[in-house]
Amino acid sequence: MTTRFQRITPFLWFADEAEEAAKFYVSIFENSKITTTTRYGKEAAQATGRPEGSAMTVGFQLDGQDFTALNGGPVFKFNEAMSLVVHCRSQAEVDRYWKQLSEGGDERSQQCGWLKDRYGVSWQVVPDQMIELLSHPDRTKAQKAMAALMQMKKIDLHALQQAAA
């Protein structure tokens, strides 16, 4: 039996919170689940200094998109150079995802729909209509929407629409 893997899978390096983070993310998004967990055996634990039996990698899906989380130790940290974008169909979705993902996160890093969650992963929570407003053929409307966006942390779709009108 051959397993079919998604061609490109985001791979997230955590110090030791991979299993906890995967469970957190799966609890937020519909159509999501933990798919696999591999654990450190004796040899891998000795080579890496990780506890034997602890989670090494956790495969999970968020809304059908595959991800892998690794407990690799404190060698690398997340930063804003890479983020995950959550496209939202309504302000209610923006509000819900923003609240859940930002809980316990770094409030200093919140601007223009970007937030950093409790694990240091950066997310962009954006309404689809925002993209339409920012790329509007009437450049004046697009510029007014952009000026309004630059003043926001969590995106307020109604305020963007009013600014562009």
DSSP annotation of 26 reads H
Residues 117 and 64 in one domain: no
pLDDT digits (tens, 9 = 90+) for 19-74: 999 999 999 999 999 999 999 999 998 888 889 999 999 999 999 999 999 999 99
Q: Are 44 and 56 in contact (CB under 8 A)?
A: yes
Q: Domain range holding 109?
A: 83-164
For residue 144, being part of any structural domain is answered with yes
Claim to verify: residue 160 and residue 87 sit in the same structural domain: yes
Please indicate, yes or no, if residue 76 is contained in any of the structural domains: no
> Do 63 and 105 reside in the same domain of the chain?
no
What are the residues facing 34 on neighbouring strands?
60
Strand 122-127 to 83-88 pairing: parallel
> In the chain, how many domains are there?
2
Q: pLDDT tens digit string along 84-120?
A: 999 999 999 999 999 999 999 988 888 899 999 999 9
Same domain, 95 and 151: yes
Q: Is 6 among the domain residues?
A: no
Are 89 and 29 contained in the same domain? no
